[in-house]
Amino acid sequence: MQIKNPYLMFLGDVPDQLAAKTAQGIVDWRRDWCLGQIRLPGCKADLGIPDMTIAEAVAAGARTMIIGVVNAGGTLPDHWTAQIVEALDAGLDIASGLHMRLGSNPEIRAAAERNGRSLFDVRHSDRVFATGKGTKRTGKRLLTVGTDCSVGKKYTALALEAGMRASGFDADFKATGQTGIFISGRGVAIDAVVADFISGAVEWISPDANADHWDLVEGQGSLFHPSFAGVSLGLLHGSQPDAFIVCHEPTRKTMRGVPTPLPTIQQVIDLTIECGRLTNPVIRCTGIAVNTQALDEGAARSLLNEISSAHGGLPATDPVRFGVENLVARIAEEFGGPAEGGNAGNA
């Protein structure tokens, strides 16, 4: 599976900007892939990129129309069908983050078939995976883990990809969730895989690679989240990381969606190492990423210093606010800098 870019971003007539959060994430990280947006009357979201017709997008080189919006119930509204069929007839593939599969709509399915186009449902995984092997693969891997869900694991991995490439590292973001898949054009929505194949799917996402290559694997959930810890553990075993970054949101009091209290950063470090050793005996924590949005700059910097001191001097940063240089420097220090002729910035 490889979603071809550039993209035309389909927003339908969603009622607010939040419903287009996935589409906005794609624009934020892959502005050059996003030629324009197409909106139906009444649409209240705006990605800040040019409005385009399907014909204009095709003329500009678009390859895929992305449905990166959420709709109440995850279904595809009937009145979106006409434009999706039009896009298929114009030669575009369609990629969707809706729960409902594109192919379950007979008109869309027929249009894809008659035009030989692909339909990507990034929330679903139809590939048959092997079960995990647990054997060591070549190349280096970093996993972002969390004290909870939605604490910046994807953002941190993407920021590290940009930062490491800028420093000359050969590094690739590896998507494990739907927004990440749109951003990288590939990946597996790991929470949608059948339970027996979680670690096997991650082994498939991050295969053997050159010794100097880094896969930066997007984490999911938390080992301490009672709903999703199984996914997080399979992801840890399958990605067999050499290094991991703990992501944290300091204002959160309970785990997302449940009354369970948040673990400490140290608990996450300890359990990640204890469990991660099974498939990588030299796993280590190389940094902490903190969402400091709720604090002013001075308080944010103090908090980061405090967190760094409390964890043996591990680099701590807010990747959004202060960048990831200290995280990249630590990786270079512990594992060596980029190889000669590194693969800088080929997004």
User: Minimum Å distance from CB 20 to its own copies?
Assistant: 23
Q: Which of 15, 226 has the CB closer to its own copies?
A: 226
The tokens describing 214, both together, are 């880094």
Q: Which of 92, 233 has the CB closer to its own copies?
A: 233
Cβ atoms 142, 280 nearer than 8 A: no
Closest C-alpha among 214, 126, 124 to residue 174 = 214
Angstrom distance (rounded) from CA 60 to CA 50: 12
Cβ atoms 219, 145 nearer than 8 A: yes
Q: Which of 81, 227 has the CB closer to its own copies?
A: 227
Q: Residues with Cβ < 8 Å from 91, sequence gap 6 or more?
A: 58, 115, 117
DSSP 8-state symbol, 261 = B
User: Minimum Å distance from CB 73 to its own copies?
Assistant: 13
* Helix 325-335 / helix 153-166 crossing angle, nearest 10 deg: 70
User: Minimum Å distance from CB 331 to its own copies?
Assistant: 25
Angstrom distance (rounded) from CA 32 to CA 281: 40
Which residues are at the interface with its own copies (CB under 8 A)? 131-135, 190-196, 198-200, 223-224, 226-235, 237, 255, 257-260, 271, 274-275, 278-279
The DSSP secondary structure of 44-83, one letter per residue, reads ----SS-B--HHHHHHTT--EEEE----GGG---GGGHHH
Q: Which of 232, 343 has the CB closer to its own copies?
A: 232
User: Minimum Å distance from CB 133 to its own copies?
Assistant: 6
Q: Which of 276, 319 has the CB closer to its own copies?
A: 276
Q: Which of 80, 228 has the CB closer to its own copies?
A: 228
Q: What spatial distance separates the first Cα and last Cα of the chain, rounded to whole Å?
A: 17
User: Minimum Å distance from CB 134 to its own copies?
Assistant: 3
CA torsion sign, 334 to 149 to 67 to 321?
A: negative
Q: Which of 126, 296 has the CB closer to its own copies?
A: 126
User: Minimum Å distance from CB 282 to its own copies?
Assistant: 16
Q: Residues with Cβ < 8 Å from 119, sequence gap 6 or more?
A: 93, 94, 95, 96, 101, 102, 103, 108, 109, 112
User: Minimum Å distance from CB 124 to its own copies?
Assistant: 10
